[in-house]
Structure 1
Amino acid sequence: MEELAQQPLNIQNYIAALRRYKWYVAIAIIIFTTISVAVAVIIPPIYKSEGLVLVETQQIPDKLIQSTVEASAAEQIEIIRQRVMTREQLLDVGRQMPALKAIEDQYGSNTLLKQIRDNLYIEPIRERSGRANVTIAFKLGFISENPTLAQKVAENLINLFLKENIKARTERASQTTAFLEQEASKLKKRLDETEQAIAKFKQANQDALPEHLQLYSSSLAREESTALDLKRQIESIKGEIEYLTLQQTDSGQTSPEQIRLAELKDEYKRLSIIYQPAHPDLIAIKDEIDYLERGGTLSDSGSTSPEQASQKALQEKINARNEELKLVQEQLRTTNIRISSLESKIIKIPQVERELISLNRDYDTINSQYSKLVSDTMQAQMAESLEQGSKAERFTLIDAPRIPTEAFAPNRKKVLAAGLAGSFGVPLGIILLIGFLDKSIRGTETLEATLGFPPLIAIPYIHTDAERQRTKRHNIFMIGGLVVIAALAAMTIHLTYMPLDLLLTKVVQRF
């Protein structure tokens, strides 16, 4: 038994298996071939209608007007695809087609939505630009068993795609403009607030503004010079008062001539400061002084004033000098007040200047931002006009969807070839498997390989007449059965599905 289990395989095993199951193989081949042909013929054709949309660049140079929509073409296509493939948009497209509307009525909106999404496709067309692939166009199409339906749906989808692109770009540009205008309004408000703060600060510190520093400095110098002059006058007046007081004290011990001489000298000294030496008053006083110095008397000079008149005159002079001293001292006090005020203002100016510089710096910063934002807003408004006028990057339909005349799928020749290959391959594969698993001894070669020595004689199988008749009747029944089955199948197809002549014509056309 071990030797029989280890016997080598022989081609005769496969031939014997084929002979034993030849009719089964033939029937299987016929059935599978018929099924393959039927499948290749019955599979409904699928049509594809698509349009070509070109991505056009901006018509106006970028250096003149810069678009605010900076999304790449591929990104823009994906954004629009998401907007178009919303439930409401696709259902609206499907409900415009009676065939798709019937699907919704029968199976519900979810089934319709799934069918549209499954049969809709977008195929970008890219071109190498430098190191990157740039999308220059894209195809948008729809697949359906009905060529007219495929064309209508593809056309509606492309129109919707183009409208959504314009709408999306315009909305984005409008949003950019609105945002910039809103930010510009905020900055304008801050700018006005800063201007008001600067105005209030200047109003509150109007006496200590930096632009007044030079004026205050020159005024302070003048006031200090005036104060110095007033101090000198005070010293001079005090000296005169002391001198007059001394004369008044000594007037009782001296002669009237001496008193008069001292008065004249004092008067001459005072007037010489005011008048020139050739002035008549000075000359008259000088003559009288000379007369008294030569020993003249008051009676001789025409002055008949007694001693009491001299004392009274001295007192009047002292009183006049005291009044003048009070006036000059009041002027000095006023001048010192002005000097103190100017000094306090000058001292305050650096602090005011620092705060004012800070406010002006904030104002300049905000004003610069506001100016730039206003410029950007104007640029955005022009970009929005560019988008509204379709002068920026846009999608242009250059090849509209057409009604397809040839089916996109299936490839019936490939389906038939695969079916025929399977029709022959599966039965023959089963026969080969049976022959491989068959371990029985068939033929002298297998027997010799198994026993190790050749047999003396080989007697072939002898068929009896009864076996021949039985095999003949079996073959006739099998052939007759196949003919009857084929005839019944043809009649059934002719009566229930389609006349055979039309079916044959259709098969030829499909292939």
Structure 2
Amino acid sequence: MQEEQEKNIQDYLAILSRRKVAIISTAMGVFLLGLITALVWPPTFRSSATILIKEQEIPTELVRSTVTSYAAQRIQTISQRVMTRPNLMEIIEKYNLYVKERKRQTSEEVLEEMREDIGLDMINAEVMDPRTGRPGVASIAFTLSYEGSSPGSTQKVAGELTSLFLAENLRNRKDKAAETYSFLTAETSKLEKKIEETGKKLAEFKEKHANSLPEMTVMNLTMLNRTESEFDSVDADLRALNERQFFLQSQLDQINPLTNMRSATGESILDPASRLKALESEFASLSARYSSEHPDIVKIKREIQGLRQQTGQGFDTQQQAKILTSKRSELAGLIKKYSAGHPDIVKLQAEIAALEKSIKDNPVKVEKQVMTMQPDNPAYISVQTQLKTIETEIESSKSRKKRLDEKLRDLEKRISKSPQVEKEYLVLSREQQSALLRFQDIKARQMEAEIGQELEKESKGESFVLIDPAQYPEQPIKPNRIVIVFLSLIFSIAAGLGVAILKEAMDSSVRGAAGINKLLTAAPLAVIPLIYNTYDLRRRQRINRMVIGSVFGSIIVVMLLIHFFWTPLDVIWFKGLRKAEDVMSV
């Protein structure tokens, strides 16, 4: 096993001397590769525009906007609408972007790459919230950028996107304002129809239950009390009138309607009605004693018939029935005392038979006979007049009592229906009141929406203002060629040293007297130096020339690459002179 040799600084310098060709060639290769990468890497330009979120010009206390979403949220919404497939494809075709990518990639991949090239950055600031009075973070502006390989097309695309954002914001705000106004207008129309329907229902309900409405309850109770009092008064008056009628009727029955007349001898002459009653009683008595052909019987019959024609009265069946009943009672008493052949019993039986025959021959008349003779007794006429007046008042009182009774029933019906009517009435009233309040609220909002719509039409609301349009990018944002060159230099040195170390580790040669001494543990007797012959010298010169040529060739290649792929050399020269003059002037 070979012991690891310890190296000092001379050994490392010797290694660098021995491996200088590998180190330089490797370093040059890596550096050239990095340099070519930095120069060949296509530049990426960025053009950005700054858009200010301008607040509403008119104070919100006076006019409220219908667009209430936050600015950041609205910007993200606009971004999604702007970066749609039709818009992006139109921009790609208009400015002939992603030519190589469109040949080997799908349209979705190209669109996704373009979306990644589009940048949207919000600019926030600490502001004081006017509603709460507390500090907070709010978006006051945003930047819209686009990255591309051509500075001209990059600026144009950034400007196009900015125009789309501004136009979409205006259209979006106007559309929202119009949608809000249309919605509130439709809701107002619906509520107007609903109010009309509820009003019609309420009017029909009031018409149907006009007397049982809640506002009529007090009046109905008052009318009920008053009607009851009036009914009691009429009832008392009617009872008094009936008593008065009974009293007057009793008086009238006791007064003869005709005035009694007297003869020359001073005897009282009966009136036809009284005379008729007396003859009827006498006829019943004579019929019991004589036959129907007896002169007295015939005379009485003729006189009775004449009196009936004179007075207009028929046969008084009721009076004859009373007499018949009395005679029968008298006969029953006599039968108990005497035998059947007793003269009084025979006479009484004859009278009863005559009365029965008279009642049979004159059937009962339902209608009451009215005496056609005009009364002439002043007392009778006076009582009769009072009786008629009382009868008229009684009929009037009965009619009034009937009306009051019907009125009481109607009032009681109204009052009994009042709770249910009030319940239904309150439901309809609340429904209409709710609809009215809702209508007033929606109507006020509709007017605000209309003002908000005019606000957006005149661009007086919150708006996007372009404060920094897309500029022509003078310098690419990437790649950073200086950094790449610097890193290439670092990596080239590291790679050259790494190759030298690797070769040295793989080389098992023994070099120098120190190496032999460490290997054999004995010092060499003599050291013969390396003697270069002509071939070695030529070979060494050739290698040196190749290294020098490679260095100069690399420098030329780098300058050509810089000239054609980055910046012309004359421009760099003049910039250098300008900087030198600036330094010297200082």
* Corresponding residue for residue 203 of structure 1: 207
- The change in CA–CA distance for 1:439 and 1:65 in structure 2 (over 3 A counts) is farther
In 2, Cα distance between equivalents of 1:125 and 1:195: 56
* Corresponding residue for residue 539 of structure 2: 474
**Paired residue type of 2:536:** T
* Corresponding residue for residue 287 of structure 2: none
* Corresponding residue for residue 371 of structure 2: none
In 2, Cα distance between equivalents of 1:314 and 1:99: 131
In 2, Cα distance between equivalents of 1:177 and 1:344: 51
* Corresponding residue for residue 116 of structure 2: 118
* Corresponding residue for residue 405 of structure 1: 474
**Paired residue type of 1:462:** I
- The change in CA–CA distance for 1:30 and 1:509 in structure 2 (over 3 A counts) is farther
The alignment status of 1:42 with 2:63, answered yes or no, reads: no
- The CA RMSD over aligned residues, in Å, is 3.9
- The change in CA–CA distance for 1:393 and 1:458 in structure 2 (over 3 A counts) is farther
SS in 2 for 1:141: strand
* Corresponding residue for residue 244 of structure 1: 248
Structure with greater helix share of residues: 1
Out of 53, 64, 67, the residue aligned to residue 66 of structure 1 is 64
CA displacement, residues 318-345 of structure 1 (integer Å, 9 cap, x when unaligned): 4553454233222212222122212222
In 2, Cα distance between equivalents of 1:413 and 1:494: 14
The alignment status of 1:429 with 2:498, answered yes or no, reads: yes
Q: Does the 8 Å CA contact 2:510/2:516 hold for their aligned counterparts?
A: yes
- The change in CA–CA distance for 1:307 and 1:490 in structure 2 (over 3 A counts) is closer
* Corresponding residue for residue 295 of structure 1: none
Q: Sequence identity, in percent? A: 26
TM-score (norm 1): 0.76
* Corresponding residue for residue 97 of structure 1: 95
In 2, Cα distance between equivalents of 1:112 and 1:494: 35
Displacement of 1:64 after TM fit? 0.7
CA displacement, residues 208-252 of structure 1 (integer Å, 9 cap, x when unaligned): 223333443443344334323322322222222332344356669
* Corresponding residue for residue 457 of structure 1: 523
* Corresponding residue for residue 580 of structure 2: none
In 2, Cα distance between equivalents of 1:141 and 1:162: 14
Q: Does the 8 Å CA contact 2:119/2:145 hold for their aligned counterparts?
A: yes
In 2, Cα distance between equivalents of 1:23 and 1:403: 48
In 1, Cα distance between equivalents of 2:202 and 2:126: 58
* Corresponding residue for residue 326 of structure 1: 395
Q: Does the 8 Å CA contact 1:13/1:435 hold for their aligned counterparts?
A: no
**Paired residue type of 1:82:** Q
- The change in CA–CA distance for 1:509 and 1:121 in structure 2 (over 3 A counts) is farther
Displacement of 1:428 after TM fit? 0.8
Q: If you compute each CA radius of gyration, which structure gives the higher value, 1 or 2?
A: 2
- The change in CA–CA distance for 1:439 and 1:366 in structure 2 (over 3 A counts) is farther
The aligned length equals 454
Q: What does residue range 143-158 of structure 1 map to in structure 2 within 5 Å?
A: 143-158=147-162
TM-score (norm 2): 0.67
Out of 78, 81, 101, the residue aligned to residue 79 of structure 2 is 81
In 2, Cα distance between equivalents of 1:197 and 1:134: 53
**Paired residue type of 2:26:** A
Give 5+ residue unaligned stretches, structure 1.
257-305
CA displacement, residues 54-110 of structure 1 (integer Å, 9 cap, x when unaligned): 111111101011112122222222111111111111111222224567875786644
* Corresponding residue for residue 216 of structure 2: 212
- The change in CA–CA distance for 1:220 and 1:40 in structure 2 (over 3 A counts) is closer
Q: What does residue range 181-200 of structure 1 map to in structure 2 within 5 Å?
A: 181-200=185-204
In 2, Cα distance between equivalents of 1:128 and 1:350: 64
- The change in CA–CA distance for 1:217 and 1:99 in structure 2 (over 3 A counts) is closer
- The change in CA–CA distance for 1:458 and 1:10 in structure 2 (over 3 A counts) is farther
Q: Does the 8 Å CA contact 1:14/1:435 hold for their aligned counterparts?
A: no
**Paired residue type of 2:498:** G
Displacement of 1:316 after TM fit? 6.0
- The change in CA–CA distance for 1:482 and 1:336 in structure 2 (over 3 A counts) is same
* Corresponding residue for residue 382 of structure 1: 451
In 2, Cα distance between equivalents of 1:491 and 1:207: 116
Greater mean alpha carbon deviation, residues 18-27 or residues 200-209: 18-27
Displacement of 1:464 after TM fit? 4.7
CA displacement, residues 263-295 of structure 1 (integer Å, 9 cap, x when unaligned): xxxxxxxxxxxxxxxxxxxxxxxxxxxxxxxxx
Displacement of 1:190 after TM fit? 2.1
* Corresponding residue for residue 360 of structure 1: 429
SS in 2 for 1:25: helix
In 2, Cα distance between equivalents of 1:236 and 1:503: 140
In 2, Cα distance between equivalents of 1:132 and 1:468: 85
Give 5+ residue unaligned stretches, structure 2.
129-134, 261-374, 577-586
